[in-house]
């Protein structure tokens, strides 16, 4: 199996000036879509440490921008505003940015938040903070394929190696659209790509993304695109947000692709990988601040809603790597936010 190792990319110089809050905190006002791309990237590289921070750059997003502080990404439909990811700002400025956003009194639901931000919205703004799913964080400093739980990974990797499959990192789009069109025919939603909760494959800005491809001869069997996760101007992790596979390789190519990428990242000094969201995988115990009714609905959707999306299959695939499961939350005003949930499904192209 071929290996192309690329040294860990250095973050570009941070554009845009971030002014000390103390100099103008009482004067600042938020505006929609105020920042230039360079200014937005400056905040992303400093504070984009959520697994969906990079995905806030997808098309059709709007932004509530607070100069010197940061931004919150969102989309609107049918009178509802749905935000995506944690606010991209310093943790100490989250409450300020959230407060400014909510001042207009519009119907706002927060999607895919960390437990810290969801808890803040519950304590300070009286919103329900209900678990929406789970993420899996994988320590790759000591990554290997040993152990009974990784037998399925070893089998897949060994089979790919014996078949002569070549896995390489390249920055190209060649063959991606054709394979995507074929792959879509095998999905629950066959005529369109999922977006919003999963960023689309085609984005205007993709600087810093990493792409790994698997070929058998000249045939493209699959690929995985990783998005960077930032902290203080450095790439500290990656998240696999785009993956496509050919059904012609029956043993599956996802695990060999991921294993190869882990080895590359490990050699570059990356310590952890965020495997991304597993929707509706929620804890059995209800926490203070959660809507018990909505939590029950999430469990029911996971159990019986696989005709909408392969929730169980996605979690099974990611769980084979091991790792630490952390909770992901949504924040909402209603005990049962049925209409915002419907809007989220529409924005995500589930319907």
- Using the structure block, give the residue that is written with the tokens 């960023």: 199
Residue 61 inside a domain? The answer is yes
C-alpha dist (Å) from residue 229 to 55, 62, 101, 115: 10, 20, 24, 18
Same domain, 57 and 119: yes
Residue 82 inside a domain? The answer is yes
Say what the pLDDT of residue 293 is. 96
Q: Is the pLDDT of residue 163 over 90?
A: yes
Same domain, 153 and 92: no
Of 95-99, 255-259, 268-272, 302-306, give the lowest mean pLDDT range. 302-306
For the record, the structure tokens of 132 come out as 């929406």
3-state helix, strand, coil in the chain (%, to 5): 30, 25, 40
Residue 106 inside a domain? The answer is yes
Instruction: Give me the number of domains the chain comprises.
Output: 2
Percent of the chain with pLDDT over 90: 78
Same domain, 120 and 157: no
Mean pLDDT of the chain: 90
Put the strands of the sheet holding 62-66 in their side by side order: 31-32, 62-66, 70-77, 80-89, 108-113, 324-332, 128-139, 272-279
Residue 14 inside a domain? The answer is no
Say what the pLDDT of residue 250 is. 72
Same domain, 95 and 162: no
Q: Give the range of the structural domain holding residue 243, as residue numbers without chain letter.
A: 141-270
Residue 3 inside a domain? The answer is no
Same domain, 174 and 132: no
Q: Is the pLDDT of residue 82 over 50?
A: yes
Final residue in a domain of this structure, among 270, 302, 320 = 270
Same domain, 166 and 49: no
* Neighbour count for residue 300 (Cβ, 10 Å): 11
DSSP 8-state code for residue 12: P
Interatomic CA distance for residues 273 and 296, integer angstroms: 30
Helical (H) or strand (E) element with 314 = helix 311-319
Residue 321 inside a domain? The answer is yes
CATH number for position 94 = 3.40.630
Same domain, 151 and 230: yes
Same domain, 230 and 299: no
DSSP 8-state code for residue 204: S
Same domain, 87 and 154: no
Same domain, 117 and 190: no
Name residues whose C-beta falls within 8 Å of residue 98's C-beta, 6 or more positions apart in sequence: 72, 87, 120, 121, 124, 125
Interatomic CA distance for residues 293 and 283, integer angstroms: 14
Angle formed at CA 313 by CA 199 and CA 202, multiple of 5 degrees: 20
DSSP 8-state code for residue 57: G
Q: What pTM value is reported for the model?
A: 0.88
**Backbone torsions φ then ψ of 151, nearest 5 degrees:** -60, -40
Interatomic CA distance for residues 257 and 226, integer angstroms: 11
Would strands 234-245 and 219-231 be described as parallel, antiparallel, or unpaired?
A: antiparallel
Final residue in a domain of this structure, among 239, 270, 301 = 270
Say what the pLDDT of residue 149 is. 87
Whether the CB-CB separation of 47 and 89 falls below 8 Å is answered with yes
Final residue in a domain of this structure, among 201, 235, 270 = 270
Residue 187 inside a domain? The answer is yes
Say what the pLDDT of residue 291 is. 97
C-alpha dist (Å) from residue 139 to 147, 240, 324, 326: 15, 15, 8, 13
Where do the DSSP E strands lie in the chain? 31-32, 62-66, 70-77, 80-89, 108-113, 128-139, 166-169, 210-216, 219-231, 234-245, 272-279, 324-332
CATH number for position 180 = 3.40.630.30
Same domain, 51 and 105: yes
Same domain, 120 and 164: no
Say what the pLDDT of residue 191 is. 62
Residue 159 inside a domain? The answer is yes
The 10s digit of each residue's pLDDT in 42-77 is 999 999 999 999 999 999 999 999 999 999 999 999
Say what the pLDDT of residue 6 is. 39
């Amino acid at each position: 199996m071929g290996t192309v190792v690329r040294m860990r990319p250095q973050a570009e110089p941070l554009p845009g000036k971030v002014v000390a809050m103390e100099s103008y905190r009482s004067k600042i006002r938020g505006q929609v879509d105020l920042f230039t791309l360079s200014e937005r990237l400056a905040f992303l590289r400093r504070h984009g440490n959520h697994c969906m921070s990079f995905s806030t750059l997808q098309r059709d997003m709007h932004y509530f921008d607070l100069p010197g502080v940061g931004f919150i990404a969102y989309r609107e439909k049918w009178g509802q505003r749905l935000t995506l990811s944690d606010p991209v700002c310093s943790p100490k400025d989250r409450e300020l940015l959230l407060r400014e956003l909510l001042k207009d009194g519009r119907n706002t639901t927060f999607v895919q938040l960390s437990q810290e931000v969801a808890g803040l919205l519950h304590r300070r703004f009286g919103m329900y903070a209900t678990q929406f799913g789970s993420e899996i964080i994988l320590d790759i400093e000591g990554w290997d394929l040993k152990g009974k739980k990784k037998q399925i990974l070893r089998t897949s990797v060994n089979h790919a190696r014996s078949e002569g499959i070549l896995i390489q990192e390249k920055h190209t789009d060649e063959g991606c659209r054709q394979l995507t069109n074929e792959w879509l025919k095998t999905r629950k939603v066959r005529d369109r790509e999922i977006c919003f909760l999963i960023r689309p494959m085609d984005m205007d800005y993709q600087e810093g993304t990493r792409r790994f491809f698997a070929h058998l001869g000249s045939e493209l069997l699959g690929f995985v695109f990783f998005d960077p996760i930032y902290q203080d101007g450095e790439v500290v992790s990656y998240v696999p947000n785009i993956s496509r596979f050919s059904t012609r390789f029956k043993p599956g190519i996802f695990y060999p692709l991921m294993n190869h990428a882990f080895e590359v990242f490990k050699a570059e000094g990356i310590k952890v990988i965020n495997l991304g969201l597993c929707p509706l995988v929620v804890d059995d115990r209800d926490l203070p601040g959660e809507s018990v009714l909505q939590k029950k609905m999430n469990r029911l959707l996971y159990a019986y809603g696989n005709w909408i999306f392969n929730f169980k299959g996605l979690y099974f695939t990611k769980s084979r790597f091991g790792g630490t499961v952390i909770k992901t939350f949504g924040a909402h005003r209603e005990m049962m936010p049925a209409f915002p949930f419907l809007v989220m499904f529409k924005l995500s192209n589930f319907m």
